[in-house]
Amino acid sequence: MTSDYPLVSIGVPVFNGDDYLTAALDSIVNQSYQNLEIIISDNCSTDKTQEICLTYEQKDPRIKYFRAEENLGATWNFNQVLHLASGKYFRWAAHDDVLAPTCIEKCVAVLEANPEVVLCHTKVEVIDHEGKFKHDYDIVLKTDHQSPPTRFYELLIPWNMYYEIFGLIRREAFQTVGPMGNFSHADGILLERLSLIGRFFQVDEVLFYPRFHAKQSNQVYGLNYHTYTAWFDPKLRGKRIFPYWRQLKEHLAVVREAQIAAAEKFNCYRTIAYWFFKRRRELLKDLILSNR
């Protein structure tokens, strides 16, 4: 790989990930696309994560390992690896997921050939705690549509796992959309912001293998956004919060700040109104729980 190929930054935020970190790092360092910098941010792990990371850093000069002195939360850790990145393209990589060898190569090719595409992801196959096939993920969103309101609708209304957050993203896009927020569903909000500045593209191959296991955050916290918020930002633990109302505020801000036509904004606001109707029970429950 020569300097003619753009640098890709892979950010690995991790906390107590020694169960699966080796498999994740192996899948990254063995990518067919080699012009990588691999940034690991350890959120003060208490297991063998530090030992594993230091071993890989010594073996591969592309790896840069950083460790926080205390657990500052998932949002800080995700934004830390983004802040330290210098590549033309950026990708978050979870410590428990696995990439196929050609994942980065195929995504870079798409972004290089299509300047209007802001994020490139691939088809997904979910694996279990042993790395064995669990199930296909066959949800296809119209995030490749030419219409920004359509892309926004697809991310806000249909149920999905937001695996696109682990796509390859133009790093310059973050100058417009900003970093990840410190609230529940911050990954979905960030995808909404990205969708209003450009199209997404899905490579028609299974090249990404997210791992389903009992210790992952969405299994530990489920849909309890009151406790999930503390995973994003520990300073909010025990605080009086209104997570669904915060989501509503963020949805509105996404549209208000987007550089799109007035008619397109109107259609996006209509989508938010529909979301409000669908989430009316959660919003009411939010008020009840947060006032206890």
pLDDT value of residue 291: 60
For 8-218, which CATH superfamily applies? Spore Coat Polysaccharide Biosynthesis Protein SpsA; Chain A (3.90.550.10)
Q: Which residues contact 97 (CB under 8 A, 6 or more apart)?
A: 24, 166, 208, 209, 210, 211
How wide is the angle at C-alpha 192 spanned by C-alphas 141 and 275, nearest 5°?
Answer: 80
**Domains of the chain by residue range:** 8-218, 220-290
- CA 168, chain centre distance (Å): 10
**pTM of the shown model:** 0.95
- Parallel, antiparallel, or unpaired for β 8-14 and 36-42? parallel
- Interatomic CA distance for residues 170 and 178, integer angstroms: 13
pLDDT value of residue 6: 96
pLDDT value of residue 290: 62
pLDDT value of residue 292: 57
- Interatomic CA distance for residues 172 and 130, integer angstroms: 37
Q: Per-residue pLDDT for the chain (292 aa), expressed as one digit of tens each?
A: 445 789 999 999 999 999 999 999 999 999 999 999 999 999 999 999 999 999 999 999 999 999 999 999 999 999 999 999 999 999 999 999 999 999 999 999 999 999 999 999 999 999 999 999 999 999 999 999 999 999 999 999 999 999 999 999 999 999 999 999 999 899 999 999 999 999 999 999 999 999 998 887 776 766 678 788 888 988 888 788 899 999 999 999 999 999 999 999 999 999 999 999 999 999 998 888 766 5
Q: What are the Cα distances from residue 197, in Å, to 118, 176, 192, 239, 257? A: 7, 8, 9, 34, 11
- Interatomic CA distance for residues 215 and 221, integer angstroms: 10
- Interatomic CA distance for residues 144 and 198, integer angstroms: 9
